[in-house]
Amino acid sequence: MSRSTSPPPLTPDDEALLTRLRDLALVDLDALLLGTSGEQYVQLLTAYGEDLEDALRAARGRMADLIKTVAGVDPLALLDAGYASRARDGGREAAERSARRLTSRAQACRALARIDDLASSLFPRLLEADRRRASLG
C-alpha cells in the first residue's frame, strides 16, 4: 500500500498560536506587576488579562476546528461492509483512503492535545487576572 504524503501535523498558524500560548505561560503575574502601582498597575493587569483572553479565544476556535476533524468520518467505516466490498479493486483505494483519514485524525489529535495542554495552564492565570481586575472595582 502506498501512502500519500500527509500534511504537516501543525499549520504555520498553529505554530504561531502555540508560540503565543507558550510565551504567555512564561509570564508570572506577580513578577509582571512587581513595582507598579496606580494606573500603571491597572493598565498592565488589563493588558495581560486581555491578551490571555484573546489567546485563549483563538485557541478555543482552533480546538473546535480540530474536534471536527477528529469527530468526522469514521476512517474504518468500511469494516461494516462485507469482505467483497472491502476487496473491490484489490482494496488499494479503500486502504489508502482509510490510511489518509487515520493519519489526518491522528495529526489533529496531537495538535489538539498540544493546544489543550497549554490552555489548561493558562485558563487559571486568566481567572487570577480577572479576580484582581474585579477587586479594583
**Tens of each residue's pLDDT in the chain, 137 residues:** 444 444 456 788 999 999 999 999 999 999 999 999 999 999 999 999 999 999 999 999 999 999 999 998 888 888 888 888 888 878 888 889 899 999 999 999 999 999 999 999 999 999 999 999 999 98
What residue ranges do the domains of the chain occupy?
Answer: 12-135
Cα 89 to Cα 113: distance, rounded to the nearest angstrom: 37
> How far is C-alpha 58 from the chain's CA centre?
9
